Homo-oligomer: A and B are copies of this chain.
């Protein structure tokens, strides 16, 4: 076990300076503090008296309001961790910060024993380091295959989207659009692939004109809703509820009735989904359970139980935003319908 003395000897400074550097004391220069942190990380220093303290890093995700996706995840994690005597720090994160410090240095600086990472994208600077890190780390909806110190907690995206496409298909929809973020996030890629697979299972072609990939939520609805409608879409799958809300707004502005003119499906089942007008049909992610499983997984990892993945069910919650496909005026009944 590496001690403060070992680090002090390596750097040729006093033990108390090492301690000050690790604890962010103001009388240690930024440059020296950095060298101390780097050396401590390199030597595998894990702290004098390891505290029972975990970190939740959050990026690209709101978590301060109950209607934001991260809120219940963090609450679930904290509830379980608290009852086991763990402290939990929640740290919002940016790409910029990740460029200034390595993951291991950040962990050492916070004296955390492990971390739960929410909302990371595949382009994040720390992603490469995570492939080999020794820090027990749980990812929400991300997956790193090679490293047994990393585990994933996720929902069954594929099962959820398959149920949603099947539900729309059974209502007569054949032109089903997908609105989601860009493919630089693992979870968006998964949902995108799950949508394509589900369409194929129903014998429906995947049509590029019915797919919209765009980071900004309101903009994505504004840009793609008209395109989808022009291209014959009668139903829109949104890869998150926030996007579904934006689509509702655009529909209202264009006098499109939900579900008489267009059916909408969300993903997440945020608390407000049931109170929207009409109430939103959506795929539920049990966020409190995700948080609890995140804690369970992290506590397994620090006890050398190499969980790879915990996957939760993602059931479709059918509400008022989906209905039968609208009858096109003057449209010939298809052969299939005519034979009924």
Binding site for B on A (CB under 8 A): 145, 148, 156, 159, 286, 289, 292-293, 296, 300, 305-313, 315
Chain B nearest CB from A118 CB (Å) reads 19
Interface of A is mostly: mixed
User: A286 vs B148: C-alpha distance in the bound complex, in angstroms?
Assistant: 13
Chain B nearest CB from A309 CB (Å) reads 4
A310 touches B313 (CB 8 A): no
- A149 to chain B: closest residue by CB: B313
Count identical subunits in the complex.
Answer: 2
B305 touches A289 (CB 8 A): yes
* CB neighbours of A300 from chain B (8 A): 289, 293
User: A159 vs B313: C-alpha distance in the bound complex, in angstroms?
Assistant: 23
Q: Per a CB cutoff under 8 Å, which of B296, B308, B313 touches A148?
A: B313
Chain B nearest CB from A143 CB (Å) reads 11
* CB neighbours of A310 from chain B (8 A): 307, 309-311
- A150 to chain B: closest residue by CB: B313
User: A313 vs B300: C-alpha distance in the bound complex, in angstroms?
Assistant: 12
Q: Per a CB cutoff under 8 Å, which of B289, B311, B315 touches A309?
A: B311
Sort A-B residue pairs by CB-CB distance and give the 10 closest, nearest first.
Answer: A306-B313, A289-B305, A309-B311, A308-B311, A308-B313, A148-B313, A310-B310, A156-B308, A308-B312, A307-B312
- A310 to chain B: closest residue by CB: B310
* CB neighbours of A156 from chain B (8 A): 308
Q: Per a CB cutoff under 8 Å, which of B145, B159, B289, B293 touches A159?
A: B145
- A159 to chain B: closest residue by CB: B145
* CB neighbours of A145 from chain B (8 A): 159
Chain B nearest CB from A145 CB (Å) reads 7
Chain B nearest CB from A14 CB (Å) reads 42
User: A312 vs B159: C-alpha distance in the bound complex, in angstroms?
Assistant: 21
A286 touches B305 (CB 8 A): yes
